[in-house]
Amino acid sequence: MSDLTGELIDGRYQLLRQVANGGMASIYEAIDTRLDRKVAVKIMHPHLAQDEAFVSRFIKEAKAAAALSHPNIVAVQDQGWNQSGVPAIFLVMELIEGHTLREYLNERGRFETKDAINYLTPILSALAAAHLLGIVHRDIKPENILISKDGRIKIADFGLARGEIIGSTMTAESSVILGSVSYLSPEQVQRGVADSRSDVYATGIVAYEMLIGDKPFSAETPIQIAYMHVNEEIPRLRSKRRDIPQSLDDLIASATAKNPDDRPRTAGDFLARLQQIQIDLDPRKNQMDLGLDLPVEPIREKPRKKVKEVVPVEQTPAVVETTKEIRRKEEKKKRASNRVRRNRKVALVLAVALGVGGWWSLVGPGSRVVVPSTIGGSYEEAVNIIAPLGLTTVVENRFDEEIAKGRIIESIPAGGDRVDAAGSVKLIISKGPERFSVPMTTGLTPEAAQTVLKKSPLLVGQIREVFSTEIPKGFVISSSPVSGTSVKRDTTINLVVSKGVQQIALVSYLGKSGEQALNELTETGFSVEVGYAFNDNVPELAVISQTPAGGVSINKGARVVIQISKGPRYTFIPKTVITMEASAAKAMLESLGLKVKVVVIGNNKKKTVKRVSPVVNTKVKRGSTVTITVG
């Protein structure tokens, strides 16, 4: 595929540079000119755009990822056909600036146990969210695990995904071919089937590679590697590296078991066991964080009919004829004469019939040619049958939902009818199913969208309104079926129209808990900006001010600024600090927002406060320094 850098896709996405090029598509860094942000645009190679299976897989990749909303899954933002420039089927995703896990493995070799667990946790968290929706990735490998510059881990490429929500994106056979053989589970290799346990297996292999620094199996050809996954056990981690905890070794062995029933059922189960291991290793860790194949009956030979044996007739000896026998012969001759006369009459009738039949066949209507049956054949096959009869052909093309393109639907006259010698036969040839591409309607007004749809033999269905932060009020957000889909004549197209940005009434949080204000404003859909300031009248951690103020309605997603109290600006040095143990006195003063300087005198092992500067009961500004002398 030629480099499309510089092209403007769909009148919106300006391609800046090509960042990757695979067997199915190329990925570009681009600018979304409408929202002025960087995105990644995945464009299918032109030669695959003619293959309905690949196009379907490409579209369903968008649906697979769009069905998931998780911080560790690459978000899909748009999909469509470029109709205003270079023909292209594209997918728009969030741009992840960083590297793949494969690059990290190539650079670092193996990972420390703690680091490997930290990488596996978000991977399993993302897969757990997918499995919860019934979606199976089926192509987990280091190349599909991205690590952004800020350290966020993202799973990409749901192109082989399948599930109840999105259907199947590819056949089982093609998924085995397209997937990476080093991470394929035995059931994928043997039977071409995959479920959540297949993702668990692939993640287990990724974990093995991270901890050992190499894949469990290597061979000269992919088929040899696949054979080893089916017939050999994955080596235990501790056989390669003794510092691996036994519990982690057991978990990875379970995840990479040949029998799917011996593995964790979902990524969520895998994650739960991994997190328990993480807690055991570091207790201080904060975890808020058939068709049925029947044998063919053998063909039995039919028994041959016995040939009746002809028994030769023995010749009887000659006898002397009597008077009675002579009379019988004369009577037989008389009867034979009557039969001869009758046969002659029959012969005359037959002769007349044959004469009429000959005239009908050679001169009359019988001289017309019988048209052979050609339905289901190709044009070339029909011509080869019809031409030797001295007939010519006339062709008419017609769409048909059942007869394949290029095959004959019917002939006029039909097969078995007759046509004059040297006449013609009209052949109706199938153009295949009649299909029309759903035009692009996004960004149009409903009236304009209906006008565009009516130019094709399509029907306008329901028009539904929803809120949108991207599409202005009164313009089409999307259509169903989506633009670019091939549909039948008179298919109903439903439209989704923007109601604009949702307006939400803003509540006043003055004097209320700052944490409550932050949580509720964020959950409502606002972008919250928080500041802190001293205040003598508002309790510590309560809201001092709010902009905009409560009582007004603003756009969902708008910015709301709240200022939270840090308490009074001044405090008093407590009298109780004198004679307190040094560390306790220091902690008390720091809790009041003061900085503490400690001066040690004397040799006493137990250090208590002797003096404070400024002296006790002095009013001081928070953040100022207090000196305590201990001894």
- Measured CA to CA, the distance from residue 461 to residue 316 in angstroms comes to 99
Note the pLDDT of residue 192: 74
Instruction: Note whether 66 and 147 are within 8 A (CB).
Output: no
Q: State the Cα torsion 100-101-105-106 to the nearest 10°.
A: -10
Q: How far does CA 173 lie from the centroid of its chain?
A: 16
Q: Are strands 595-600 and 625-630 parallel, antiparallel or unpaired?
A: parallel
Angle at 57 between CA 53 and CA 62, to 5 degrees: 155
In sign, the C-alpha dihedral spanning 144, 149, 153, 157 is negative
Tell me the pLDDT tens digit for each residue of 371-425: 887 878 889 988 888 888 889 999 999 998 888 899 998 889 887 788 888 899 9
Q: Are strands 98-100 and 145-148 parallel, antiparallel or unpaired?
A: antiparallel
- Measured CA to CA, the distance from residue 330 to residue 120 in angstroms comes to 118
- The rounded mean pLDDT for the chain is 83
Note the pLDDT of residue 159: 52
Bridge partners (DSSP) of residue 516 are none
Instruction: Note whether 45 and 4 are within 8 A (CB).
Output: no
pLDDT at 23 over 90: no
Note the pLDDT of residue 304: 43
Average pLDDT over residues 535-547: 92
- Measured CA to CA, the distance from residue 630 to residue 578 in angstroms comes to 10
Instruction: Please identify which of the residues 32, 139, 157, 400 carries the catalytic annotation.
Output: 139
pLDDT at 288 over 70: no
Residue that the structure tokens 């999307």 belong to: 478
Report which of residues 16 and 25 the model is more confident about: 16
Nearest one of 273, 277, 242 to 255, comparing CA atoms: 273
Kindly state the percentage of the chain with pLDDT values over 70.
83
Distances (CA, A) of 502 to 143, 446, 465, 474, 515: 39, 20, 12, 13, 25
- Measured CA to CA, the distance from residue 326 to residue 10 in angstroms comes to 114
Instruction: Note whether 20 and 40 are within 8 A (CB).
Output: no
pLDDT at 123 over 60: yes
Structure tokens at 513: 């808990």
- Measured CA to CA, the distance from residue 258 to residue 232 in angstroms comes to 8
Q: Which amino acid is located at 445 in the chain?
A: T
pLDDT at 176 over 80: no
Long-range contacts of residues 173-179, Cβ cutoff 8 Å, at least 24 apart:
174/53, 175/138, 175/139, 178/139, 179/138, 179/139
Q: At what angle do helices 196-212 and 246-255 cross, to 10 degrees?
A: 140
Average pLDDT over residues 56-67: 72
Note the pLDDT of residue 351: 59
Q: How far does CA 333 lie from the centroid of its chain?
A: 97
End-to-end CA distance of the chain: 80
Assess whether the previous peptide bond of 413 is cis (omega < 30° from 0).
yes
Q: Which domains does the chain have, with CATH numbers?
A: 8-94 (3.30.200.20), 98-281 (1.10.510.10), 369-430 (3.30.10.20), 436-498 (3.30.10.20), 503-565 (3.30.10.20), 571-630 (3.30.10.20)
pLDDT at 495 over 50: yes
Distances (CA, A) of 586 to 198, 300, 385, 605: 57, 102, 107, 17
Q: Which amino acid is located at 281 in the chain?
A: L
Q: Catalytic: 139?
A: yes
- Measured CA to CA, the distance from residue 124 to residue 278 in angstroms comes to 14
21 pLDDT band (50/70/90 cuts)? Answer: confident
Kindly state the percentage of the chain with pLDDT values over 90.
49
Report which of residues 184 and 371 the model is more confident about: 184
H helices present in 282-322, as ranges: none
Length of the chain: 631
From 167-171, 200-204, 236-240, 592-596, the region with the lowest mean pLDDT: 167-171
Tell me the pLDDT tens digit for each residue of 321-369: 455 555 565 565 555 556 656 666 666 656 555 655 554 454 455 557 8
315 pLDDT band (50/70/90 cuts)? Answer: very low
pLDDT at 513 over 50: yes
Instruction: Note whether 185 and 234 are within 8 A (CB).
Output: no
Write the DSSP assignment of 261-279 as a string of letters. Answer: GGS-SSHHHHHHHHHHHHH
Instruction: Note whether 401 and 409 are within 8 A (CB).
Output: no
Tell me the pLDDT tens digit for each residue of 446-466: 999 999 999 999 999 999 999
Average pLDDT over residues 32-36: 92
Query: What is the DSSP-derived secondary structure letter of residue 624?
Result: -
Note the pLDDT of residue 230: 86
pLDDT at 473 over 80: yes
